[in-house]
Chain A
Amino acid sequence: MSSKHHLEITQVGIDFPTPKGPFTALQNVNLKIDEGEFVSLIGHSGCGKSTVLNIVAGLHQATTGGVILDNTEVNEPGPERAVVFQNHSLLPWLSVYKNVELAVKQTQKGRSKQEIREWVEHNLELVHMSHAIDKLPSEISGGMKQRVGIARALSMEPKVLLMDEPFGALDALTRAHLQDSVMEIHADLGNTVIMITHDVDEAVLLSDRIVMMTNGPSATIGEILDIDLPRPRNRLELADDPEYNHYRSAVLRFLYEKQRKVEAITKVSSPKTANKKTNAA
């Protein structure tokens, strides 16, 4: 059975074993993604959006349903579905160059030394990291580490780029900077991207489609929003754009009206612990 779609997620569900019996984290997740599309998954913490990504990456095995990429079933991790992890996960003992080189050597076998070198340098240039090529991860900032993480993923020439809250751990200014870089790269290379995010602005600014997830347990896709804004997009111009704000409020309404998280607060606690609770949930 061939299909027109690049990536198909069909009837995916997953159960995690617990001492009290299986816990159904996801149910009936269906999503079809075209080549070159930029799709964001958004939802409250614990709704299983990372789990969806991990299933596409092959790091988790779906209990029901499955994922098909270019007519091949996904059942193990691989470089054609490169992942950008939230905490950069660079190897701390390797320089920036060597981190990317490891990925290139592993995925592009048959290239000459010269070609490997050029390809590593090219990918670091894409994320504007050429200046720190010989630095160790501990010697560069969080934003720079994430850039290198993106370069490493891109260097594998993935069919789909999977990003798990790639900018979650960064401060607002660095995040904006990296979002612009990602838009630029996406415009250049036309990769298919699936990105997990918490951030409504980020989702609207970057995506072609926003997939909004319902709360768990048994989370699934609640709504899908097409973002019909012309590219290239500029965050300053869009800030006052009525259409942009319309999309933005649609996502906000989904998150805070339809899928409002009801927190049971038993005690009146200090704001700090209350914050922690929502984060943990």
Chain B
Amino acid sequence: MKEGATMLKQATLPSAISNIPLESVWSNLKSFFSGLFLPAVGLVVFLGLWSLVAKSVDTSLGKFPGPSAVYNQAIVLIDEHYVQVEKAEAFYERQEQRNAQRVAQDPSYVPKIREYTGAPTYFQQIWTSLYTVMVGFLAASVIAVPLGILCGLSQPVYSAMNPLIQLFKPVSPLAWLPLVTMVVSAVYVSQDPMFSKSFITSAVTVSLCCLWPTLINTAVGVSSIDKDLLNVSKVLRLSPMKHVIKIVMPSSIPMIFTGLRLSLGIGWMVLIAAEMLAQNPGLGKFVWDEFQNGSSESLARIMVAVLTIGLIGFILDRIMLLIQKRVSWDKQANLR
């Protein structure tokens, strides 16, 4: 009996040792499975369903584009970009030559440089959209963060602001847009405008919708600062300014960033709608123009824009997350 027991022990021991590398292989496999394999499966299933459903949907502009049609149009859009860039370069080269000739004939001639006025390419439109959303988002943040801090610090200010916040927070950007358009047309009058009106209108509309998440989250973050830290500030007799800089801002940074990320996400969604209506030459206008254009490729081109918008939105959020991780003091926090 006793001998048998020791035998058994001896028998199980080596297998226990050999189990260790096997287990790590298994855990590697598992992390690969959930990290790469499953997302890939999801993507393949999505593409399959998409092409299946697309084939059976007939529109007045032909069949709904499947993945391959969309891929082809993406290539076309990229090619068009390079063609335009070449054209522009050729245009400037010709212009330079002409100017040089005229200067040679008549030394008193001052050469004029004319801008290339070709249609914006897909990448230029993406850039316009990014630029517009950034301006709108930054303008909103510059207002919302200090206002949020004020609301968080002072109960009376919060009580005064709260009804307004609750009233304006749920308003759709499309309701603001006509008003913003009219106000911008009336107020922004200049001979040589630095920005186009459509840009200002889109950016302001984005701002109006970006304000609220940052404002609310900042106020909540500031009002929930650890009471002990506030007491430290009191014992040290920090001035109001120092109190905000040394205690309030750092301790509410996580909440401020939560608000900023929400705001940027909303701003990017709002921008597309705003550009459609304001005719700001970005992705929104691209979608609208293709819709109005109504060629057999339009739907595929719009689908390219849809995927681009999604991808950019995702990248913007990742960038914000990176910044948040950089500035956050709580390295243990599970940010995602």
Contact = CB atoms under 8 A, between A and B. Distances in A.
Contacts of A222: none
B250 A77 contact: no
Interface in A79-107: 79, 81-83, 85, 87, 89, 91-93, 102-103, 106-107
Contact of B229 (A83, A91, A138): A91
B250 A91 contact: yes
Nearest to B231: A59
B251 A93 contact: yes
Scoring A79, A106, A136 by chain B CB atoms within 10 A of each residue's CB, the highest score goes to A106
Given A138-B331, A138-B332, A89 B229 contact: yes
A33 to B, nearest CB: 19
B246 A85 contact: no
A69 to B, nearest CB: 14
A26 B236 CA distance: 26
B238 interface: yes
Interface residues of B, number: 20
Contacts of B250: 91, 93
A87 B231 CA distance: 12
A136 B231 CA distance: 20
A57 B235 contact: yes
Contacts of B251: 91-93
A190 interface: no
Name the prevailing secondary structure of the B interface residues.
helix
Contacts of B9: none
B75 to A, nearest CB: 49
B38 to A, nearest CB: 34
A106 B237 contact: yes
A106 B238 contact: yes
Contacts of A107: 236
A154 to B, nearest CB: 13
A78 interface: yes
Interface residues of A, number: 23
Contact of A82 (B226, B229, B235, B247): B235
Interface centre among A59, A93, A136, A138 (most CB of B within 10 A): A93
Interface in B240-279: 242, 246-247, 250-251, 253
Given A77-B234, A78-B237, A102-B246, A92 B228 contact: no
Contact of B235 (A83, A91, A136): A83
Nearest to A57: B235
Nearest to A162: B235
Given A77-B231, A102-B246, A92 B329 contact: yes
B247 A81 contact: no
A136 B236 CA distance: 20
Nearest to B239: A106
Choose among B226, B234, B238, B253 the residue with the greatest number of A CB atoms under 10 Å from its CB: B234
Given A85-B228, A89-B226, A93-B251, A102 B235 contact: no
B232 interface: yes
B237 A79 contact: yes
Contacts of B80: none
Contacts of B234: 58-59, 76-77
Interface string B287-329: 0000000000000000000000000000000000000000001
Given A102-B246, A136-B329, A138-B332, A89 B231 contact: yes
A83 B230 CA distance: 12
Interface string B72-85: 00000000000000
Contacts of B231: 57, 59, 77, 83, 85, 89
B330 interface: yes
Nearest to A93: B329
Contacts of A76: 234
A103 B236 CA distance: 7
Given A92-B330, A93-B250, A138-B332, A85 B237 contact: no
Given A102-B246, A136-B329, A138-B331, A89 B228 contact: yes
Given A76-B234, A77-B234, A93-B253, 15 more contacts: A57-B235, A59-B231, A77-B235, A78-B235, A81-B235, A89-B231, A89-B232, A91-B251, A92-B251, A92-B329, A93-B251, A106-B236, A106-B238, A138-B331, A156-B236
Instruction: Return the 3 tightest CB-CB contacts between A and B, nearest first.
Output: A93-B329, A89-B228, A77-B234
